[in-house]
Amino acid sequence: MASPATYRAGAFRHAAGRLDLEVVQVTDTPEVLAERWGMPLGLDFTKPEAAIAALIAYADAHPVDAVLALDDSATLLAARGAAALGLPHNDPDATLAARDKGVMREALHQGGIPVPEYRRYPVASDPATLAGEIPFPVVVKPLRLSGSRGVIRADDPDEFFQAWERTRRIVLREGESLDRGELLVERYLPGFEVALEGLLTGGCLQTLALFDKPDPLEGPFFEETIYVTPSRLPEETQTAISARTAEAAAALGVREGPIHAELRINDEGIWLIEMAGRSIGGLCSTVLEFGAGLSLEELILRHAVGMPLPSTERAGDAAGVMMIPIPKAGILRGVLGREEAAAVPGVTGVEITAPFNLPLTPLPEGASYLGFIFARGESPEAAERALRDAHARLVFRIDPALTLTAVG
């Protein structure tokens, strides 16, 4: 199950083919369009009760062994659907905790996991009033948007006013209710950030990969760029990161399947920033290989249907991926230097995924990247250098977006 915008479907279809598994891809689709397009199982994620009833009816005629969410939009429905079918699943309340930042903070706090000071405020609140209650610096966050959308740091009342208004506009455009919606405001945590890719079985965590994020994520926006594995942190710190992630999963009640966690390390300790009940996003999993050449998607599918898991030790040299940031808003007309970037020693691929001649929207409003650069090296440092060298050779032609003016 996934949204139409997912990057992940192709990799999972390929992995399923290698494992001789039959896959039914369910994309969030209005019922009318699903029928018109002849989809074998069209579900409207905005109508969960009807979607689950349709899933049960489908499974009566076509037995289903597992239900898997590929992105955040599908995690809650996948958990409820698997529960209705009697298949392994996470409790829907736990899935909500891994989907909603406010619920997550509360569950972590109740479970004894350190969290930054936080408050939830109604979207309709007056930011000027709130600024008098807040110890700066803080971060304003939407409760459910992913990919750092709408996440903005503020260091003083003026910046907070601007951050609040901007995040409010973003969530309202996404359908949040002005009357019932909320935003999260929490203390900004300095520190070095990592991403952990893991697999849970009955609450037991297997850490599959730990990525360093070498670019500072200090705000005002928090656009992720480079991931490199293996981590360069000391072994004892890596062990502590895995332990904190397992503790956080237990506090949230997440017990089965893939997780993707973001953590920060500073002098105060190890802090869980986010945990999602799905695997890493975008095309980033391309750089991961396990055992005798297995992809991350193959491991996840094997786990989901109860097939034996081979070695989960990461194979090969150091690897990295750059999510190419969108430098400015406008219309993407062309990309120069792709051949030169691909020829950089260590680079294994350059993928431009943004469509040409269509508008680009950078963070914090945007939800995508220009593309991805992949690299391998004898060391994490070598992989990181290759990514930076390749990115420096790319030139993006972005024209200003046209604006329409009414003449009366």
Q: Chain centroid to CA 26: how far?
A: 19
Q: Chain centroid to CA 15: how far?
A: 20
b/e 387-407 (16+ beta carbons within 10 angstroms → b): bbbbbebbebebeeeeeeeee
Q: Where are the domains of the chain?
A: 9-97, 117-187, 317-408
Write phi, then psi, for 13 (nearest 5 degrees).
Answer: -65, -40
| Confidence at residue 29, expressed as pLDDT on a 0 to 100 scale | 85
- Could you write out the DSSP letters of every residue in 1-60? -B-TT-S-HHHHHHHHHHTT------BB--HHHHHHTT-TT-B-TT-HHHHHHHHHHHHH
| Beta-bridge partners for 289 | none
Check: CB of residue 5 under 8 Å from CB of residue 15. Answer: no
User: In the chain, which stretches have pLDDT less than 50?
Assistant: none
| Confidence at residue 407, expressed as pLDDT on a 0 to 100 scale | 52
- Alpha helices for 228-337 (secondary structure H): 235-252, 296-305
Q: Which CATH entry fits the domain spanning 117-187: 1.20.120.1730, 3.30.1490.20, 1.10.1740.10, 3.40.50.300?
A: 3.30.1490.20
| Confidence at residue 32, expressed as pLDDT on a 0 to 100 scale | 64
| Confidence at residue 282, expressed as pLDDT on a 0 to 100 scale | 83
Please tell me the class of the 317-408 domain.
alpha beta
Pairing outcome for strands 347-352 and 371-377: antiparallel
Q: Each residue of 210-224: pLDDT tens digit?
A: 999 999 999 999 999
The Cα 236–Cα 38 span in angstroms is 53
What pTM does this model have?
A: 0.93
The answer to whether the Cα torsion of 170, 176, 180, 185 is positive or negative is negative
Check: CB of residue 283 under 8 Å from CB of residue 349. Answer: no
Residue 115: closest CA among 306, 271, 335, 236: 271
* DSSP three-state, residue 259: strand
DSSP class of 284: G
| Confidence at residue 38, expressed as pLDDT on a 0 to 100 scale | 67
Tokens representing 61? Answer: 């005629």
Q: Do domains 117-187 and 317-408 have the same CATH topology?
A: no
Write phi, then psi, for 293 (nearest 5 degrees).
Answer: 85, 25
